[in-house]
Amino acid sequence: MKMTRTKRLWFILLILVMWALGLYFNSIDAEKKSSHKHDATKTVTKSQTTTTADNGTVTKQTITNDDTEEEEEIERSYYDTIEDAVKGSNFAIDEEEGVSYTNKKVIKEKVLFLESETDALLFFIGNFIEDKDYTDALVVYKFKVKKEGNQTKYSTPTNATQIAAESEKESYEYGGSKYEIQTSLNLNNAYQSFNLYPETTELQWGMSYDKNAPNLTINGEHPTKVIPIELDGDNCYFWYYEDLKYDSSKKVKISFKKTK
């Protein structure tokens, strides 16, 4: 069928719009990655701590950007235990719905805890929406860590994400075992926000409802650990790699076959 001049013009315009959108999203992606790299070049130049009545401390810090020498003041509460730090979560509330999807007060089950000298990560099972929706979700909190004498203290969570059990199960039932793993690699930690050593490693993690998940390999590599968990009464597995280099533009080999 012969294309008219008007249709050709519309077709060319559509291509130009798609090209422009591609440039826009690439620039956003580059900006995020650049911002992530610059986070590692900030230094605490001033620090003042006061004690609170709830077994915590409040620390006011002045953070200086090593590249621009700009200063910003940050106030964080610190607690003696990770459980108290979780209870102190104070993420913003959704104005329309009147709830916070990331503020949690109850740890139903600890799944994994990782810690460095400056940061900590806690993976746990919590309520999807605290006080409103008690279905399960895998929650990830990131904390700042500091030492006061022999005591390690944890800040109120600085970053958070969660995966609803219902959404994860739908992903598995819709696309199958490999699709579920691929989705985790693409979405869960794409910008390595939840990583203790983002300059040198790539922390990858996710879940699997496949009963053969203990045999999981990605590009021939076994996970650092596979942990059996239960979400909304269903048995499944949490898996993570301390360092798995992943490129979403390349084909990934996912297998659940048992290896020797």
**Do the domain assignments include residue 193?**
yes
Please give the DSSP secondary-structure letter assigned to residue 200.
Answer: T
Q: How much is the pLDDT for 65? A: 60
**Do the domain assignments include residue 189?**
yes
The pairing of strands 42-51 and 119-129 is unpaired
**Do the domain assignments include residue 123?**
no
**Of 20, 53, 79, which one is at a domain's C-terminal end?**
79
**Do the domain assignments include residue 67?**
yes
pLDDT tens sequence across 71-108: 666 789 999 999 999 999 999 888 888 888 999 999 99
Instruction: Compute φ and ψ for 111, nearest 5 degrees.
Output: -105, -45
Q: How much is the pLDDT for 30? A: 45
Are 229 and 188 within 8 A, CB to CB? no
Count of domains for the chain = 2
pLDDT tens sequence across 158-171: 999 999 999 999 99
Structural domain span for residue 244: 166-255
Q: What is the pTM of this model?
A: 0.75
Are 139 and 172 within 8 A, CB to CB? no
**Do the domain assignments include residue 198?**
yes
**Do the domain assignments include residue 222?**
yes
**Of 79, 104, 136, which one is at a domain's C-terminal end?**
79
Mean pLDDT of 22-29: 50
Length of the chain: 260
Lookup: tokens for 191:
């910008």
Mean pLDDT of 211-239: 98
> Where do runs of H (alpha helix) occur along the chain?
5-38, 82-87, 165-175, 177-187
Are 140 and 194 within 8 A, CB to CB? yes
**Do the domain assignments include residue 70?**
yes
More confident site: 41 or 86:
86
**Of 180, 97, 167, 111, nearest to 141 (Cα)?**
111
Please give the DSSP secondary-structure letter assigned to residue 99.
Answer: B
Which residue bears the tokens 């030492």?
147
**Do the domain assignments include residue 170?**
yes
Q: Cα dist. 79→31, 61, 87, 88 in Å?
A: 34, 16, 10, 9
Lookup: tokens for 235:
């048995």
**Of 26, 58, 79, which one is at a domain's C-terminal end?**
79
